[in-house]
Amino acid sequence: MIKVVLPTDFSENAYHAISYAVRLLEDATCIFYLVHAYTPPVYRVDYALGSPGQLGLPDDERYRAEEALDKTIDRIKKEFNNAKHQYVGHAAFNTLVEEIDSISRRETIDFIVMGTQGATGAKEILFGSNTVHVIQKSKIPVLAVPSDFRYRPPYNILFPTDYEVDYKSPDLDFLLKFSKLWHSKLHVLHVTAPEGLDPEQEERRAYLEGRLLEYNYEFYDLSDQGLITAINGFQEKVPVELLTMVKNKHSFIERLFVEPIIKNVGLHSKVPFLVLPYNQ
């Protein structure tokens, strides 16, 4: 049984990500938790004191959210009609990040799938603020789906790495299980610095290769260049349906989130982007 959180703001972008997740896992037995976190337009005193329901007061925002969740679930069932899939709607007065963290711990969620943009669909923003915050805070994998990505099975997964990650971390297990589900090929991409790999990086590369022996994989060492240039250049030569990175304090992905480069066209997520947390 795979448990997946699907955050939604009821935009078409959010529904596009939900559709991707349902198609991605069409052969797996799953429970999908559709999560909507809301804050009333006017922050009333009854919200400050606690749940309006507990005080016997109407909670109009919750009613509206639950109605919208029911409509979304009905839409999914009509479109996909998969007996292996169950859906649970969940509305809460909370921030999205905190509510996702809460339900993920309570329900032992495997991963999160969400759109890259919010309801505004602002083209100049690579990832909407909610997506960025969820990726930064999440202790489980997050899969961000671009709004213009037409579904294709992830037969080829691009995995850029600088070998700064201890691959004994359990995060790698999720990627390997995921790749086995689709019989994917893992393309491990490294941009070689002029000084080459240090002993620790060499050791981690060897360990990673050992972990991948039972899988379909290939290593690539590219000449010194920017990460964005390397990723884009690779995707022009090899069809890639999924990009994945490990997020830790030394990794590429963490630097991308603290630098303006994430808003550039460079890493414009043309394909779904799986971010693996680094839990020590």
User: Model confidence over 2-32: pLDDT tens digits?
Assistant: 999 999 999 998 999 999 999 999 999 999 9
Residue 204 lies in a domain: yes
Report the domain count for the chain. 2
User: Do both 131 and 162 map to the same domain?
Assistant: no
User: Do both 170 and 141 map to the same domain?
Assistant: no
pLDDT at residue 178, as a whole number: 87
Higher pLDDT, 29 or 164: 29
pLDDT at residue 251, as a whole number: 53
- Rounded Cα gap, residues 169 and 209, in angstroms: 15
Residue 192 lies in a domain: yes
Asked if the model's pLDDT at residue 44 lies above 60, the reply is no
User: Do both 176 and 235 map to the same domain?
Assistant: yes
What percent of the chain lies above the pLDDT cut of 90? 45
User: Do both 163 and 139 map to the same domain?
Assistant: no
User: Model confidence over 55-71: pLDDT tens digits?
Assistant: 444 477 888 899 999 99
User: Do both 163 and 80 map to the same domain?
Assistant: no
Quote the domain boundaries for residue 243. Answer: 156-270
User: Do both 19 and 125 map to the same domain?
Assistant: yes
- Rounded Cα gap, residues 227 and 189, in angstroms: 10
What is the CATH number for 86? 3.40.50.620
> How high is the mean pLDDT of the chain?
82
Tell me what the mean pLDDT of segment 227-244 comes to. 86
Asked if the model's pLDDT at residue 106 lies above 90, the reply is yes
Joined together, the tokens standing for residue 122 give 């602002």
Half-sphere exposure of 212 (CA within 13 A, CB side): 21
β 242-247/216-222 pair status:
unpaired
User: Do both 162 and 213 map to the same domain?
Assistant: yes
| DSSP codes joined into one string, 136-196 | HH-SS-EEEE-TTPPP----EEEEE--S-S-TTSTHHHHHHHHHHHHTPEEEEEEE--TT-
Residue 150 lies in a domain: no
